[in-house]
């Protein structure tokens, strides 16, 4: 029974399982069919939407293509209109060019005709000219070459006279304007420096309170005077000059040391060899201090910087050097001020001009020790102590021993002449004055055609009278320049000299 129950149960279970499987299959199939139908419906819906959008896109593309086509057709029509317009303009220009070409051809034919007429007229004129030349030669009894030579001579003579007149007028006008401008600059410069009219002059005589001191200065057996001369290197002249002792020496520094020492000895009253050596040593140191102070004062007053200490000492030594009575230290300072003002007026380098003018006579501080012109000696000293080459050239050329290479060199030369030639600056002996005047007249007489020569205005002007049959107007102008150039080359003079050539023609007749 149990076995039968078990078999039935198993069979029932199998039947149930089979039924369940079939039922599950049908349920799965049903669900699958449902999903397939839903997916198909979804796909159909998507397909319908895609077809709608495709139709819209196709419609929009068609509209856009239609619009582009219309625009292209419009632009094509516009291009056609522009092309037709350009064609009309080109046609018009072609017609204008054709008309101009026709006009040019007509004008060319007209010009050729006129040229033929001109050639014919020229031939006729040349023929008539030859006939006139032949007739003129027959009437004047002169050949063509003779007449031309005569005409050229007359034209040359008239041209020389006109040229001389024009040259005189231009030179006079230029000189007048230049002198006026130069006068204004120089007057302004001199007024601005406001220097004294007479400069200090070194003293070479020592005053004595009485003549009894002369014996004490000489000393027993001349020992005191020998001690002074040996210590200072000067010569003492004790003569009949009342209440004075003369100091003689070629060296101004030694002379100044002797003057100071002798002045102190006279004031102190104790005069003997030991005292003399002590006082001379003190005087020498005092003079050295004066030299240093005066050199530094000159540099400071002028405003020049960077000079070597030895050059400053040499500037101070000029305190005891004179030229024609003018103190060279004051002359150097004055020249530097003048050169600086002139350089500023003329647009030159004022610093260079000042330094060149301050040092232009530096060679005079040692010319008693070194042979040679002071300009050459000074330039060598300046070069040795590191002065710029431009300033060295100025020093070397201020008396034309060397060629002047700059405007500043000419300015320094002018400043030197102004300082030395102004009234009261220097004194000149009668003998040297007569020699200078005579030499000036001799230079003028050395030229051919000069009849008389007179130096006037204290040698500031020379007037030359020439023979009119030997010197014409043009030659007179050249003669004045030649004389002035020879005076510059051969003579030394302060300031400037005016050269005036006078040519005078006189006609004399007698009434009987």
pLDDT-derived band at 197 (thresholds 50, 70, 90) equals very low
Decide if pLDDT at 373 tops 70.
yes
Tokens 């040679």 correspond to: 372
Which of residues 252 and 156 earns the better pLDDT score? 252
Q: Which residue has the higher pLDDT, 316 or 370?
A: 316
What pLDDT, on the 0 to 100 scale, is given for residue 47?
A: 81
Query: What proportion of the chain, given as a percentage, has pLDDT over 90?
Result: 11
Share of the chain above pLDDT 70, in %: 85
Residue 333 pLDDT > 50: yes
What is the dihedral angle through the alpha carbons of 488, 492, 496, 498, rounded to the nearest 10 degrees?
-60
The pLDDT of 115-121, averaged and rounded, is: 89
Domain range 205-421, CATH architecture: Orthogonal Bundle (1.10)
Task: Over range 143-171, report the average pLDDT.
Answer: 71
The predicted model scores a pTM of: 0.50
**Weakest-pLDDT range from 106-120, 190-204, 226-240, 330-344:** 190-204
> Strand 235-237 and strand 205-207: pairing?
unpaired
Greatest CA separation found in the chain?
218
Return mean pLDDT, the chain.
81
Q: Compute the distance between CA of residue 108 and CA of residue 126 in angstroms, rounded to an integer.
A: 26
Q: How large is the average pLDDT for residues 139-151? A: 70
Taking residues 303-330, what's their average pLDDT?
85
Residue 216: predicted pLDDT: 83
For residue 321, give every residue at least 6 positions away whose Cβ sits within 8 Å of its Cβ, in sequence order, or none.
202, 252, 327, 328, 329, 364, 365
pLDDT bin (cut points 50, 70, 90) of residue 310 is very high
User: Does this chain's domain 205-421 share its CATH topology with 430-503?
Assistant: no
Asked whether 360 and 378 are in contact (CB, 8 A), the reply is yes
User: Contact, 339 vs 313, CB < 8 A?
Assistant: no
Question: By 3-state DSSP, what share of the chain in percent is helix, strand and coil, each rounded to 5?
Answer: 70, 5, 20
pLDDT, average across residues 122-133: 85
- Domain locations in the chain? 205-421, 430-503
C-alpha distances in Å from residue 424, one per residue of 110, 387, 460, 461: 87, 32, 16, 19
Segment 430-446 shows an average pLDDT of: 80
Regarding beta strands 450-456 and 461-466, do their DSSP bridges make them parallel or antiparallel, or are they unpaired?
antiparallel
3-state class of 197 per DSSP? coil
- What's the pLDDT at 388? 92
Compute CA distances 495 → 337, 398, 414, 415, whole Å.
17, 13, 8, 10
**235-237 and 244-248 strand pairing:** antiparallel
Residue 287, pLDDT > 50, answer yes
| pLDDT on residue 196 | 47
**CA 364/CA 395 separation, integer angstroms:** 12
Where would I find the H helices in 194-251? 212-218, 223-232
* pLDDT of 405 strictly over 80: yes
CATH dotted code for 430-503: 3.30.300.20
User: Is the pLDDT confidence value at 191 over 60?
Assistant: no
Count of other CB atoms within 10 angstroms of residue 281: 13
Cα gap 228→236, rounded to integer Å:
8
Report residue 309's pLDDT band, with 50, 70 and 90 as the boundaries. very high
Region 370-389: mean pLDDT is: 87
What does the pLDDT read at residue 424? 55
């Amino acid at each position: 029974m149990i076995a039968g129950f078990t078999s039935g149960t198993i069979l029932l279970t199998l039947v149930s399982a089979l039924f369940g499987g079939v039922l599950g299959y049908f349920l799965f199939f049903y669900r699958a069919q449902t999903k397939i139908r839903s997916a198909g419906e979804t796909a159909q819906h998507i397909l319908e939407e895609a077809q709608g959008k495709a139709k819209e896109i196709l419609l929009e593309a068609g509209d856009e293509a239609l619009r582009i086509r219309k625009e292209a057709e419009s632009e094509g029509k516009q291009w056609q209109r522009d092309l037709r317009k350009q064609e009309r303009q080109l046609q018009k220009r072609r017609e204008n060019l054709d008309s101009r070409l026709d006009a040019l051809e007509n004008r060319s034919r007209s010009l050729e005709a006129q040229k033929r007429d001109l050639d014919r007229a020229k031939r006729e004129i040349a023929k008539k000219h030859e006939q006139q030349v032949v007739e003129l030669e027959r009437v004047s009894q002169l050949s063509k070459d003779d007449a031309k030579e005569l005409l050229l001579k007359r034209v040359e003579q008239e041209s020389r006279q006109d040229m001389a007149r024009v040259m005189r007028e231009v030179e006079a006008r230029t000189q007048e304007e230049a002198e006026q401008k130069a006068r204004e600059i120089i007057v302004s410069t001199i007024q601005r420096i406001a220097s004294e009219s007479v400069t200090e002059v070194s003293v070479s005589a020592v005053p004595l309170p009485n003549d009894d001191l002369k014996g004490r200065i000489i000393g027993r057996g001349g020992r005191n005077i020998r001690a002074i001369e040996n210590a200072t290197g000067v010569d003492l002249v004790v003569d009949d000059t009342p209440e004075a002792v003369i100091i003689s020496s070629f060296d101004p520094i030694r002379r100044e040391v002797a003057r100071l020492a002798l002045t102190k000895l006279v004031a102190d009253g104790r005069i003997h060899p030991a005292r003399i050596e002590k006082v001379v040593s003190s005087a020498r140191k005092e003079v050295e201090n004066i030299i240093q102070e005066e050199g530094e004062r000159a540099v400071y007053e002028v405003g020049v910087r960077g000079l070597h200490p030895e050059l400053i000492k040499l500037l101070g030594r000029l305190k005891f050097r004179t030229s024609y009575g003018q103190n060279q230290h004051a002359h150097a300072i004055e020249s530097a001020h003048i050169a600086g003002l002139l350089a500023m007026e003329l647009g030159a380098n004022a610093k260079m001009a000042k330094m060149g003018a301050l040092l232009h006579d530096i060679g005079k501080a040692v010319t008693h020790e070194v042979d040679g012109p002071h300009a050459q000696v000074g330039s060598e000293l300046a070069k040795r102590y590191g002065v710029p080459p431009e300033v060295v050239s100025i020093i070397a050329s201020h008396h034309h021993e060397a060629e002047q290479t700059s405007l500043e060199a000419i300015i320094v030369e002018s400043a030197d002449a102004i300082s030395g030639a102004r009234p009261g600056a220097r004194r000149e002996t009668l003998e040297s004055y007569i020699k200078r005047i005579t030499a000036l007249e001799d230079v003028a007489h050395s030229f051919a055609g000069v009849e008389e020569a007179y130096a006037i205005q204290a040698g500031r002007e020379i007037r030359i009278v020439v023979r009119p049959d030997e010197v014409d107007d043009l030659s007179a102008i050249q003669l004045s320049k030649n004389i002035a150039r020879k005076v510059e080359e051969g003579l030394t003079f302060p300031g400037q000299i005016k050269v005036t050539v006078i040519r005078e023609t006189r006609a004399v007749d007698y009434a009987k």
